Amino acid sequence: MKLGMMLGLAGLLTASWAADLAITSFTSDGSLTWTNSVSTATYRVEWAGTAQGPWQRFDALTNLSSITATSNLVTVQVPMFYRVVWLDAPQHAGTYRYSGYEDGGGLVITGRITLSAQTNPVSGTWSLRQAGDAIGPIGPQVGEGQLRGILSGSQLGVDLNPGWADNNVGLNGRLTGNAWTGSWSYSTFGGAINGGPFTAEKVVDGGSP
């Protein structure tokens, strides 16, 4: 599930958490427009009184259905923010909080990884930083870059340095719900040099990565 959000009454785009899904306009006549990288998809429009939520469906019960007043001055919460929820987005698509560990060691890499809805090859971006002292070399996985990978069933493997014949970091793991877990490896022409387990948790409902 992927999200796009905007300020409804003012018609200003405030955020888009999905690389593929983005709200582009909200006009004064009530026309809400968004774009996606795919042409066949299922959506739901939701509303909230603040950008932090809570988010409501239009068919959900609200306090606007029947208002009983005991004063000549009445204040109610009305919808101001709208977002679009991509209901049938591919399982892998989204932004993940990433943590990489060394075998027999502690946390060495943290950051975020974003995977687009494209499959085979899977594409995306990464923004990672070193989180602790490493026992061995960790390779080119600090900073920002593009990634490329292959999805086979629930098994997803990606290269953080696609196109590099040498000095590459790869991630191979299994998708289960909103989690992607497996192992990372740093290798050169001479073979694997270092590695360890990783965990990646998908950011959902607009949470900060």
Q: Cβ atoms within 10 A of the Cβ of 54, count?
A: 10
- Number of domains into which the chain is organized: 2
Domain end call among 28, 59, 86: 86
Q: Which structural domain, as residue segments, surrounds residue 147? A: 94-202
Residue percentage of the chain with pLDDT more than 90:
44
Residues 11 and 74 in one domain: yes
pLDDT in tens, 196-209: 999 999 997 555 44
CATH, residue 118: 2.40.128.120
Residues 80 and 121 in one domain: no
Residue 35 lies in a domain: yes
Residues 62 and 129 in one domain: no
The answer, as to whether pTM is greater than 0.75, is no
Tokens of 140: 């080119």
**Before 79, cis peptide (omega within 30)?**
no
What is the C-alpha to C-alpha distance for residues 89 and 46, in angstroms, rounded to an integer? 17
Q: Is 175 helix (H, G, I), strand (E, B) or coil?
A: strand
Q: Give the mean model confidence (pLDDT) for residues 94-105.
A: 93
Domain end call among 39, 59, 86: 86
Closest CA to 171 of 132, 90, 87, 115: 115
Residues 117 and 140 in one domain: yes
Q: Do 189 and 86 meet the contact criterion of CB atoms below 8 Å apart? A: no
